Amino acid sequence: MTPEQIQARAGQFRADFDALGTQLARVIVGQQEIIQGVLTALFCNGHTLLEGVPGIGKTLLIRTLSRALNLSFSRVQFTPDLMPADITGTTIVLETDRPDGSRARQFTFQPGPIFAQMVLADEINRATPKTQSALLEAMAERSVTVAGTTHALEKPFFVMATQNPLEQEGTYPLPEAQLDRFFVKLLVGYSSRKDLAEVLARTTGDQSTPVEAVLDAPRLIEHQNLVRQVAIAEHVRDYAVRLTLSTHARNAGLDSAGEFATPMVNKYVRVGASPRAAQALVLGAKCRALVDGRAAASMADIQWMARPVLRHRLLLNFEAQADATTPDAIIDNILATLPQGVVA
């Protein structure tokens, strides 16, 4: 597809993107950066992890998005006693009557709630790691294997997960392999004084705000395919590569590690971002370009995606915890020091 053709289709892409944002804004007050991040992951066919304390609208945002999309939806409330089969489904034995009066038994697969196009994994870090890992195959390969049989999931497929901060009691840190499968991690903060007043005005009255379905699966898939066809210059792609490699500390024990690491990364980072991070940076940048009506991604687009893409993929050491250093602070340090020009 030529840049002119992409430019021509960018108008419809932006119209549908904004239409979804408008529906979310009917219910979600403020949080524009969070809404933009969720929609960017959606149009890039990626999964989203929302983290924040209870009661600030994480679950409401995802439920509202499900109503604005004409997709099948299911919700899984993660608890410590939830089992993997409660998510993926299980094989059960059914008995039927034969014409001769005898009983016939056959094994039948009973699909779990993962067999929906949009799955809300509510408070995902309240389940045990064994149960959390039930999502790994579904998130990475869009399929589920039960009793040796692989079942494909209907496209498009998204996992939208919420979690409370890991410092709270009764939670289990997400496995690194699962964290890496989330396209972005978004930190949902408290509302401002003005926004909180508007929340009260909307939620303590006697009127409800309707949400309309404005996008269906076929058109969403078309937009996802369009994102992949957006152009990206070689030096912009190289910037995404160097940004990812900059998270690899020199003391990580890898031969290729540390070439672009800053002193802050070498001091605080135990494990850096994976190749999935570079893929997410590029795809997210392409989506942001379309939202702005452009047919090519820029370095500014890569930088816009850096925090949500990288923050959950950086594993910090004990020294970082002692110094109260956050992944966002390290990412900001990298962005401030990484050259944007071509580096041999």
Q: Which amino acid is at 82?
A: L
- Residue 187 Cα distances to 216, 273, 321, angstroms: 28, 18, 18
CB atoms within 10 A of CB 202: 15
Angle at 223 between CA 185 and CA 2, to 5 degrees: 120
Cα distance between residue 341 and residue 335, in whole Å: 13
Helix residue ranges, H only, 142-274: 176-180, 193-203, 217-229, 234-245, 263-268
Q: Which amino acid is at 100?
A: D
Other Cβ atoms within 10 Å of 304 Cβ, number: 19
pLDDT tens over the chain, length 344 residues: 777 777 778 888 899 999 988 888 888 877 888 889 999 999 999 999 988 877 777 778 888 888 888 888 888 998 888 888 888 888 777 777 777 767 777 777 788 899 988 899 988 888 888 888 888 888 888 888 887 888 888 889 999 898 877 556 667 888 888 889 999 999 887 877 887 887 787 777 777 778 888 888 899 999 999 999 999 999 999 999 999 999 998 765 555 567 788 889 999 998 889 999 999 999 999 999 999 988 889 999 999 999 999 999 999 989 988 998 999 999 999 999 988 766 55
Q: Which residue has the tokens 């605080």?
A: 268
Strands 89-97 and 103-111: antiparallel
Which residue segments constitute the domains of the chain, with CATH numbers given? Answer: 1-79+117-203+214-229 (3.40.50.300), 231-344 (1.10.8.80)
Widest CA span in the chain: 80
**What is the pTM assigned to this prediction?**
0.88
For every residue of 126-180, DSSP letters joined together read GS-HHHHGGGHHHHHHSEEEETTEEEEPPSS-EEEEEE--TTSTT--PPPHHHHH
Backbone phi and psi for residue 229, each to the nearest 5 degrees, phi listed first:
-95, -5
For residues 250 and 261, the answer to whether their CB atoms sit within 8 Å is yes
Instruction: Quote the tokens at residue 43.
Output: 């149009």
The token duo for 105 is: 């038994």
Reference 309, options 337, 288, 325; nearest CA is 288
- Provide DSSP, 277-315: HHHHHHHHHHHHHHHTT-SEE-HHHHHHHHHHHHTTTPE
